[in-house]
Structure formats: structure tokens, C-alpha cells
Structure 1
């Protein structure tokens, strides 16, 4: 299994690749390609794909959206047009809900286009439960059991029955892939809590060996106590390698680097991970 980092907040040192606030990975396994998230816009992703000699039309067979935020979904229409054929798009049933912030002003931060725009170009598979997308590669589905210390503190909102309510980001989903040496968990922003996600992946697959955890962990504004608990739980769960960036934050990255040494890897655009 090979994972390409198509877009990330960091482009790398002396790199020809473009960076952008957001995430997009391409997972290749057994001749099939699964695109995980689509960043804010398609152009930098397509630029980086050209540098990596990846052709969208022949290398992307499925698209998975981890949650509704614009920095993970904004490039979808451009990517679909570049693919040039209908492919399955897997996401949570509520991904198209109204999703907004109010500080410093009212602003929509969810999917930046209509459901119908996507349905003209792709086949939607909207499910809150686990789904095997390729052999041994699953969507985790919604994460039902969230650790108390990982409850989201984001001030984001939605509208239910005409009333503004706090949005708990129940649409946050991840991927888990089985390998001979344990599972690999791939997350976008981990709004459900990265420890909660890993524990759910273990229950889903029945494999307690965690080969690697890849993605953003959304600890950028987390307290030192939460960061400490996260690192401790990673170690207790036996996570072998950590690949992170995007929304994880410098303090959390530093703590993970200290704990994991050479088994800590900072994500950057153009990075290739062979499992």
C-alpha cells in the first residue's frame, strides 16, 4: 500500500510542491486508487499530481470525504472534472447540512457547493456506518463513542428544525486499512478525537496492532493536559508510527516527536508513504 500526500499545510523544505491549508491523500492498493479529501481547491492538488506523475483519470477510482469542512471538500468538483468519469464519492449523510461559525462574523465553513453539483459528476454513497471500499480498506463510519477528554470545543453551529444548535461534527469519519503488520488509520481532522477514532478502528477490524496513524489530529488549540493524554494513549495503544501535520499544531507535534523520535514524521505535500 502506498499513500501520496497530495496537499498539506506544509510543502516541505526546498520543495517544488504547493501547500495549502487542507488535506488530500491518495491511497493506492492492489491497482486501485482511493482519494481521501480534496483540500480547498483542485488546482494545487492537480499541480502536485503532475509532479508525482499521477493521472487523475486513471489513478482515482473512489473519493472519500472525511467531513464537511471546506478545506477538505472544496476541491471536489475540480477533481471530479479532471477525472472525467463518474466515480463513487463516500461521505456521511449529513455532510451537506448548514455548517457555520459566528465569530468574528457569520460565515459558512461547510461544503462550498450544492449536492446536485456533485451528483451531476459522481455517484454519492452517503452512509453513517462502516463501509468496505476496497478489500481491507474501510470507512470507519461515524464514531459513536468519544473519549470525554476529546469532546470538541469548536464553536461551530448548524440549524435543526429552525433552531441554531451547536454542531457536534458527527459526520467526522476516517479510513482504516488492514495490513500484515497491523492497521493503518487515516484521519482528516480527527474532530471525533484521534484516540476515539483509533479505538473504534480496533473494534471495527478486530486487530489491536496499530501500524501507523496518519493525518491531522486537531490539537492546535488543545490544552497541555489533552496533548499529554493523547500521547500517553497513543503509546498505551501501541501505535508504532505517527504521520501528522495540518491541524495538529506545533505543541502537539513537538510532544509526539519527543515521544516517538524517528517514528514521528511531519506530513508535507509530495510525501510518499509506503506501508
Structure 2
């Protein structure tokens, strides 16, 4: 499995890519290419071009959850495909995969829309759409984890505003937050978006779905910004037991959290341009 970071809050030193508060990761497993999230503005398209990654060959576009810093870049992907059709260029029609709540309207702190501004109906015009709360295997070893069971009290968080459902408006606990996991020779590689559902809960679900206790790496947002001490303590205890070979926390993970995590795990630098390969 090969993994390349296309969007993060930072770039690697002396790598001349664009960065923004958002996340997008390109994954190759066997002959399958997956785009995990699309960032905020669409800079992933330019970054991918510089890296020699052809986004027109992506088979699956997986959305970790519906927030704007992970979905608003979808506009740029749709433009890329639209222009390819006009020019008669070869392309793969992508399948968009997400939790059923991922494309609902959301608001927070007076902002009228912090969710994806594309509807499911609009996406259907540009590819297939597969919405599921259940785990879904994308390849023999790569799995969409589905709705995450929230297992740890120390990871409980207040609602992120409101979500507008067919049944009415409710507090937004981001139940659509999910992740990917890939089985490798060295254990699981878990790829997260923001981890609103809890980084420890996500890793536990990955271990359960994949029937594998070993964790080779966890990369992505850990949702640790000014995290309370009891949450940090619980996460450190958890990773002390799991003993991952490496951690690549990024995006929505602050410096204090990274320093704390480094006490119990091999925390490595992450940014746009990072390329990792796993057996």
C-alpha cells in the first residue's frame, strides 16, 4: 500500500507544495486508487499534478466526514473530470463513498454552512455514490470502517453545532466521522480525517473489523486542539497498551498533543509531500 499526503495544514520542509487547514490523502493498494478527502479549496489538484499523481484515475473518493475542510475541494475534482470529458481525455468515473449523513447541511457558531455544499443528487451526476454506515471493503486489504462505535468516555466531545436531517434539526455529534484501515505485513495502517469519533475508538474499530491487533501506523487528524488533560491521559494510556510502530498526527492535532504522544509512541513529521509505503 502506498500513501501520499496531498493536503495538510503544513508542507514538508523544502517541498514546494500548497497547504491549508484541511486534509487529502492519495492511496494506492494493488490496482485500486483511492482519494481520501478533498481538502478545503482544491489545492490537492495542483499538488497532485506536481507529484505526478493522475486524479482522473482515482477509483474511489472516500469522505471521512462532511465538514468543509474535507469536502469543499470536491468542486475542483468535478471540474477536473468535466474538463477531461470536454477534451476527450481518458478518465475513470469515480465512486463517492461516505456515511449517509456526510452530505447533510450543517451550521455552527453563526456560519450557515460548514458541511459539504454538494448534495447527493449533484454527486450522482458526476459518478456513482455509495452511502453506508457499515464497514465496506474497497480492496482485499483496505476497508472503509463505517460508523465508529464510541467506546471511550474520555473521548466524548460536545456537539459541533447543528445538522439538518429529513427528520429535523439536531445537535451535530458528527456520527458520520469515519476512517480507513489497511492490513499490511507489519500490522494495520489506520488513516483518519479528523477523528471526531475519537482516535482510540477508530483504532479499536479497525482492529476489530480487520481481526488484527498489531498497529503499524496511524496517520491523519487526531482532533486534539487544546484537549483536556483527562482526554490526553486516556489516549496516552491507550497507545501505551496498543504500542503502534509509528504515529503521523497532523491537520487538527496541535503541538502540545504531538509532544505528549511522543512520550508513548514514535511520532513522525507529517505534511504535504509525505510519501509512505507499507508491505
Q: Identify whether the pair has TM-score above 0.5, normalized to the shorter chain.
A: yes
Aligned to 2:46: 47
Structure 2: how far apart are the matches of 1:181 and 1:208? 11
> Which residue is equivalent to 1:27?
27
**Residue 182 of structure 1 contacts residue 208 of structure 1 at CA under 8 Å; is this kept in 2?**
yes
Aligned to 2:129: 124
Residue aligning to 1:135: 140
- Within 2, Cα distance between the matches of 1:196 and 1:230? 10
> 1:264 aligned to 253, 267, 275, which one?
267
Contact kept in structure 2, 1:24 and 1:36, CA below 8 Å = yes
Secondary structure of 1:26's aligned partner = strand
Q: Relative to structure 1, is the Cα distance of residues 163 and 61 closer, same or farther in structure 2, using a 3 angstrom cutoff? A: closer
Q: Distance in 1 between matches of 2:193 and 2:160?
A: 19
1:73 corresponds, among 54, 71, 74, to 71
Correspondence for 1:4 = 4
Q: Offset at 1:224?
A: 2.0
In 2, Cα distance between equivalents of 1:184 and 1:6? 18
How far apart in 1 are the matches of 2:168 and 2:46?
A: 42
Q: Cα gap change, 1:151/1:240 in structure 2, threshold over 3 Å: closer, same or farther? A: same
SS at match of 2:97: strand
* Cα deviation 1:125-163 (Å, max 9, x = unaligned): 000000001121101010123311111224421235775
Deviates more, 1:190-199 or 1:78-87: 78-87
**Does 1:57 pair with 2:62?**
no
CA distance 1:136–1:235, shift in 2 (3 Å): same
Deviation at 1:270, TM superposition (A): 0.8
**Alignment match, 2:88:** none
Residue 165 of structure 1: SS of its match in structure 2? strand
2:99 to 92, 112, 119: 92
- The alignment's TM-score, normalised by the length of structure 1, stands at 0.93
Aligned residue pairs: how many?
269
CA contact under 8 A between 2:41 and 2:72: conserved in structure 1? Answer: yes
| In 2: Cα distance, 1:96 partner to 1:48 partner | 25
Q: Partner of 2:87 in structure 1?
A: none
Residue 170 of structure 2 aligns to a residue whose secondary structure is strand
Gaps of 5+ in 2: 85-91
Unpaired runs of 5+ in structure 1?
Answer: none
CA RMSD of aligned residues (A): 1.6
CA distance in structure 2 between the partners assigned to 1:215 and 1:149 by the alignment: 20
Q: Secondary structure at the match of 1:107?
A: coil
- 145, 162, 181: which one aligns with 2:186: 181
Residues 29-73 of structure 1, C-alpha deviation per residue, up to 9 Å, x if partnerless?
Answer: 11221110000122x111111221111123x11110000001101
